[in-house]
Every structure is written in structure tokens, then in C-alpha cells.
Amino acid sequence: MKRLPVVALAGNPNSGKTSIFNAMTGSRQHVANYPGITVEIKEGEARSTEPHMRVVDLPGTYSLTPYSPDEVAARDYLLDQHPDLVIHVVDASNLERNLYLTTQLMELGVPLLLALNMMDIAEIRGIRIDTDKLSRVLGVPVVRTVGNRGTGTEELLAKAAEMSSSHSDWVPVDLTYGSSSDRALAMLEKMIRECGLLKDKVHPRWLALRLLEQDSHTIERVERLEAEGAEEILDAAEKLAEQVFREMNDETEGVIADHRYGFVAGVVKRVKTSPLESRLYMSDRIDRFLTNPVLGPVVMTLVLFGLFQFTFAVSSAPVSWVESFFGWLHGVAWELIPEGFLRSMVVSGAIDGVGGVVGFVPLIMFMFFFIAVLEDTGYMARIAFLMDRLFRKFGLHGSSIVPFIVSGGITGGCAVPGIMAARTLRDPKERFATILSVPFMNCGGKLPIYALLIAAFFSSHEGFVLFGLTILSWVFAMSSAKLLRSTVLRGESTSFVLELPPYRLPSMKSLLLHMWERTWLYLKKAGTVILLASVLMWALMTFPVLPEDRAEGLSGDELARESLSYSVAGRAGRAVENVTGPLMGFDWKVNVALIGGFAAKEIVVSTLGTAYSMGEAEAEDTTSLSERLRVEPGWNPIMALALVIFTMLYMPCVATVAVIKRETGSWGWMGFSILYTTIVAGVMATLVYQVGMLVT
């Protein structure tokens, strides 16, 4: 099979790179896995050109000098995978800052194409860029684009197809960095050429430049080679760097960076004209209101509350349609499959188990859609900005905002990427406090549990209750962080810098792609992990079969419930019912569901569906799980609220626990996270239940 040309998209965060990627690939996207790279890298296929191209969306990075995991992943991909073309997506409204990365890509020698993106915003700000002159000065093709509207993407695709199919050699551009640095660079480059160090990976000049800058990642890479002459080159690089420092009274990295910025400034001066810098742009005017210390939090609260209210309002009908479909499927399967274990497994295990989770897909889709609106308009960054003041009071770094939001700061995230996002925190104590606190956020797996119980017991105040649960999750997570930072992880908070991207109107195509991407992951989980877990839980709730002597004289509900109680799951649930019942109101069926929730939180709903389906004599009953729980003896709003609080806080799912072990490098911290969260959950659920029952 002929290899497709590979095109990598590089660019600063908030440069519109993802919009360009979506426009190029459409829905033909997936997350790629590369050896040694743990940061998520997306990959897709562009089929609207000939030849077709494989497009790789690299993590956003300001520089190829790696400080964060994203920067390491972006640079390592370029060095190890050698794409046929790199499209650098440049924010035209912030040309100076973006061209620094362009300079480094030119130094690396990659075949380069510039997508001058966000031209609409640049024009609104009165910025004019001579793209023809920019192309001549840099020596690379330049295409004007507006990624979120699809403007210029056809021209970009055509140019990318033409350039990538030629498979050009990597030729670095020779910039000057001052006489002292240039002399040292020439000496080091000569030694590398003679040694042949990494000759199949990078150009000798680029390697010499990185070693002269004393880049720790490049030094480690050379050390791992154990090649002949490598040690002498490293020693020479260190001595030459010291020589430059003595002559310039500055580190070589600083000297080289200054000359890069000088080169960029010269380019910008020749190609860009703009109004006075004092001009107040539209985004700045809006931010005067939305990031105001007093008005900003009020607006943010109203926006989030409106999001939850509107989500429930528009999703109520589709949710009922899906529930009706699974109710119909339940009845059909009951009629077609003969009585026995097979019918029980299909109806109670698969249909009722998975149906309880899939039934809330419409609600989740709308939630993901509105979250995408907040992200694509730029308002999500303002939420992070407003929350920074609060985070510092709880001993956290402002960058912890990203892991908290990704984990479910606005209901519907996931703790796994949230914990991985904490890698950007350099202080280990702040990073560990963040990792141990983000599981308290409302991930997408908890949303079906909330939706189920809210529909059953708080249906008249759905949006208000979900909004309140979101606030509660923040309270618990921040309180947890404060406790950890005041005890086992004591230390000072470090400084925080956040870029606020300009406001922009998102394209419907981009919003729908974001919504579908996240919903599809949820559906795949429902069709694989949750289906298997539901069937497994059905088996645990079915076997061993109740002996005939114990079944004698029982019929109807008594027989069904006694059989369920006799099973492995029933025995496990009853073993702890003497504790959970008096303290939190949980019966043994709820206990079984909570145990299954360790695999994935969605399984709590599917297990409840299976348990209360199997526990009925009339198993052909097609009423929804919410309706069953509403009339189930022992269930009431106070007990439901205690269950919501417990599921919000108790031990993370197995995937999250595995990531905690990997990110902390410690079995101890992993065990601590399980024990700590479960104790907090038990205490808080007990308080809610006991106080609630006392009051009512």
C-alpha cells in the first residue's frame, strides 16, 4: 500500500490550529499513539486533495525549546517521525509572538508552509500584512486563512498536497546569532559532521545550535546514544557555551533567543502595518466587563446556570425518546427469547444495563455542544482567569485550572486527561495536590447518575440541582486541595501567566465535530466497557442459583428478590448493608452498583438498571429506571441526595487510579487517593443523610 504524505500542524495555543485541522480532515480523526509520547496527538486524513494526506495535529507550543510535556511531544514528533511537510498555523493578530516558532522551524529545516490564520481578527484590529512580502522574506509559501469559517482552507490543502508529495529534503536556514555564538556554532557543527552524530535524524547545524544552548533534552538524547565521539562533543559544547557567556555576559540560550527576536522584529517591521498600540480592541472592551473582579464572577455564574437549565430543557424530549426505544427493545426481546438465562442476560444484563446509560446520550451531547461553545468563543479562558484568584487562596497554581476544568469543572469532563494536564505544573507539591483533588470533579461518567436521580426525585428543579452539584464539586475539590497543601503537601504557590485569546464566533461545523468526538467516545465506552461490565454484573447477580429447597413456597417478587439476594453480588452487597443502611440509607442493591462503579462510574446506573429489573417478578415491565426508583421502598430524595454526594466523591474509576499511579510514580499515592476519597465520600454522605432525615 502506497504511503500517504504526512503533514504536521504546528502552532501556538489559541492560534486556531484545531479549526484548521477540523477543516482539513472533517470527521476522519482519531487519537494517535506514538512511542515515548504520552501527550494526546490527533491524526486524520485529508481526502479532498490528490494525493490524499495524513494530517497530524501537534500539541500547541510557543517554542521548540521544551519546558512543558506539550512542547516535548511536539518537538519529539518532528525529530522522530520526520513529516513530509509542516504547516505552521500563525495567529495574524499576534504576528510577532507567533513568528518565533516559525524561526525555530526554519532552523530545524522542515519543509514549511505558513497558514496566516485569524485574518478576520487582524483586519478588525486594523492590522495589514503583506503576505507576498512575508513569503519572500522568510522564503516559505504563505496562505491567508480564517480557520473557523473555512476561508482559505482549499488553497491551503492544494498547496500542502503539492509540497508534501515532493518529499523535499530538510534544509535548515542559517541565521546569525552574533560573532561569538556564530564562531562557537561553526566549531561545534564541524565536530558533529566529522562524528556523524544523529545524521539520520537532524541536520548537524541544528544539533550544534541546541547543544550550544545547553538544551537538557538534547543533551540527554545524545548521552543515550553512547556513540563514539559524543562525550567529546558534549564537553566541547559546554566549554563553548561558557566562552560565549564570558564574552557576552549572558547565557547562550538568552543570546540566541535575543537574535531570533531581532530577526522576527525585522520581518514584522517590513510586512506589517497597524494602528496605534493604544487602540482598545473589541475583545479588550468586552473583557472590561466579563473579567471585572465584581461583575465577572456574577456573569460567569449566570452563564453556567443558564447552560445547565437550557441543556435539560432541550434534551428532555430526546432522552424520553431514547428511554422509550429501550423500553420497546426490552419488550421485544422478552417476547422473542425463550425463558431462561439467555433471556435474563439479554434483557436485564445488556438492554436494561446499557439502556440506562445510553438513555442520557442526548443530554450529554447537548452538554458537550455548549461546552464547545464556551471553548471556541474564548470564554473558557476567561473562566480560568476569574478562577485564578480563588485557586491561589487554596494554595494551588493558576495552571491547575486547566486540569480541574478538563476533569469536569463544567460537568462532563474526564479525570484521566485532567490528571495528565497537570504535567504543566512544575512544582511537584502543586502537581500532586491537583492530581489528588481533580477526581472530585463531575466527570462525564457521573453525569448519567446525576441525570437518573435528578429525573427521579428533583424533576421540577433539574437545572438548578445540576448547577448546585457543580458548585459542590468545586467546593469539595478546592477544600481537598487546601487540606493537602496545608498538611502533607505544604509549600508556597508559584506564579501564573495566562493568555486570553480574542473572542471569536465559532463555526457550527467545528462545534458539531467537538460534540460528536466526545459523544462518540462515550458511546464506544457504553458499547464495550459498560456492556461487558453490565453482563458481568448480571452474572454476579444471577449465580449461584437459589437452591430448590429455599425457593419452595416462594413466588413473584419474593422469589425474584430472594434469588438476587442469594447471588455473589447480593451477598457482597448485604455484607456491608449493616453499615451503609443506617448511615447513608443505601440498601444492598445500591452497594452492588457502587462496587461496580470502580470499573467506570457509568456502571452504577447500568447495575441499578439490572438489579431493579431482575428484582421484579414482572420482568417484561418497560417502565424507566427513574420511574422504578421513584416508587421503590426505601428510596426518597434525602437518600438519593446522599447517593449523589457519595458517587461524586468516592474512589476514582480504575482508569483514573492507573493514571494517578503513573503520574505520581507511587503506589502509595495511588492507594492514598482511593482511601482518602472514599473516606471523604462516606463522611459527607452520612452527614447529608443523617441531617436530612433529622430535619424532615
CB 7 within 8 A of CB 160: yes
Kindly list the domain boundaries of the chain, sorted by start residue: 6-164, 179-273, 295-486, 508-695
The per-residue pLDDT for range 636-661, each reduced to its tens digit, is: 999 999 999 999 999 988 778 878 88
pLDDT value at 281 more than 50: yes
**Looking up cell 479525570, which residue turns up?**
415
pLDDT, position 620: 45
Is residue 51 reached through a cis peptide bond, with omega within 30 degrees of 0 on the bond before it?
yes
Residue 62 or 622, more confident: 62
Sequence-separated contacts (24+) of 557-565 with Cβ below 8 Å: 557/615, 557/616, 557/617, 559/617, 560/614, 560/615, 560/616, 560/617, 560/619, 561/615, 563/614, 564/589, 564/611, 564/614, 564/615
How crowded is the C-beta side of 96, counted as CA atoms within 13 Å?
Answer: 9
3 burial type by CB count under 10 A (0-12 exposed, 13-18 middle, 19+ buried): exposed
The per-residue pLDDT for range 557-589, each reduced to its tens digit, is: 667 667 777 888 888 888 889 899 999 999 888
What is the DSSP secondary-structure string of 44-84? EEE-SSSS-EEEEEPPP-S-SS--SHHHHHHHHHHHHH--S
According to CATH, the topology of domain 6-164 is Rossmann fold (3.40.50)
The per-residue pLDDT for range 527-568, each reduced to its tens digit, is: 777 677 778 877 887 888 888 888 777 766 667 667 777 888
Grid cell, residue 523, equals: 458511546
Dihedral in degrees, nearest 10, Cα atoms 256, 262, 266, 271 = 80
How far apart CA 28 and CA 46 sit, in angstroms, is 8
How far apart CA 357 and CA 531 sit, in angstroms, is 10
**Looking up cell 557567556, which residue turns up?**
245
Residue 564 or 324, more confident: 324
pLDDT value at 90 more than 90: yes
pLDDT value at 441 more than 80: yes
Grid cell, residue 370, equals: 455548549
Residue 110: C-alpha distances to residues 50, 59, 84, 106, 552 (Å): 22, 17, 8, 7, 79
What is the DSSP secondary-structure string of 506-549? PPHHHHHHHHHHHHHHHHHHIIIIIHHHHHHHHHHTT-SPPPHH
- Name the pLDDT band for 414 (thresholds 50, 70, 90): confident
Residue 234 or 278, more confident: 234
Return the minimum-mean-pLDDT range out of 28-37, 435-444, 495-504. Answer: 28-37
**Which of 30-39, 229-238, 477-486 shows the highest mean pLDDT?**
477-486
Q: Give the helix/strand (H/E) hosting 10.
A: strand 6-11
CB 437 within 8 A of CB 422: no
Return the minimum-mean-pLDDT range out of 234-248, 380-394, 607-621. Answer: 607-621
pLDDT, position 625: 80
Residue 438 or 546, more confident: 438
Residue 662 or 254, more confident: 254
Q: Which residues 6+ apart lie within 8 Å of 179 measured at CB?
A: none
Return the minimum-mean-pLDDT range out of 31-40, 147-156, 241-250. Answer: 31-40
Q: Residues 408, 401, 42, 658: is their CA dihedral positive or negative?
A: negative
Starting at the edge strand that comes first in sequence, how are the strands of the sheet with 112-117 ordered? Answer: 29-32, 41-46, 53-57, 6-11, 85-91, 112-117, 142-144
CB 653 within 8 A of CB 601: yes
Residue 622: C-alpha distances to residues 328, 333, 628 (Å): 7, 11, 10
Q: Residues 7, 11, 14, 15: is their CA dihedral positive or negative?
A: negative
Residue 288 or 690, more confident: 690
- Name the pLDDT band for 426 (thresholds 50, 70, 90): low
Grid cell, residue 248, equals: 557576552
Grid cell, residue 204, equals: 548537524
Dihedral in degrees, nearest 10, Cα atoms 598, 602, 606, 609 = 110
How far apart CA 319 and CA 326 sit, in angstroms, is 11
pLDDT, position 678: 94
pLDDT, position 370: 84
* Residue 329 identity (one-letter amino acid): L
How far apart CA 296 and CA 318 sit, in angstroms, is 34
pLDDT, position 276: 47
Of 13, 160, 109, 23, whose CA–CA distance to 499 is shortest? Answer: 13
3-class DSSP assignment, residue 11: strand
How far apart CA 536 and CA 371 sit, in angstroms, is 34
* Residue 408 identity (one-letter amino acid): G
The per-residue pLDDT for range 466-500, each reduced to its tens digit, is: 889 989 999 999 999 999 988 888 776 655 556 67
Grid cell, residue 472, equals: 459542590
Q: Which CATH class is domain 179-273?
A: mainly alpha
Residue-averaged pLDDT of the chain: 83
3-class DSSP assignment, residue 608: helix
Burial pattern 606-644, b for ≥16 Cβ within 10 A else e, equals bbbbbbbbbbbeebeebebbbebbbebeebbebbbbbbb
State pTM to two decimals: 0.61
pLDDT value at 33 more than 70: no
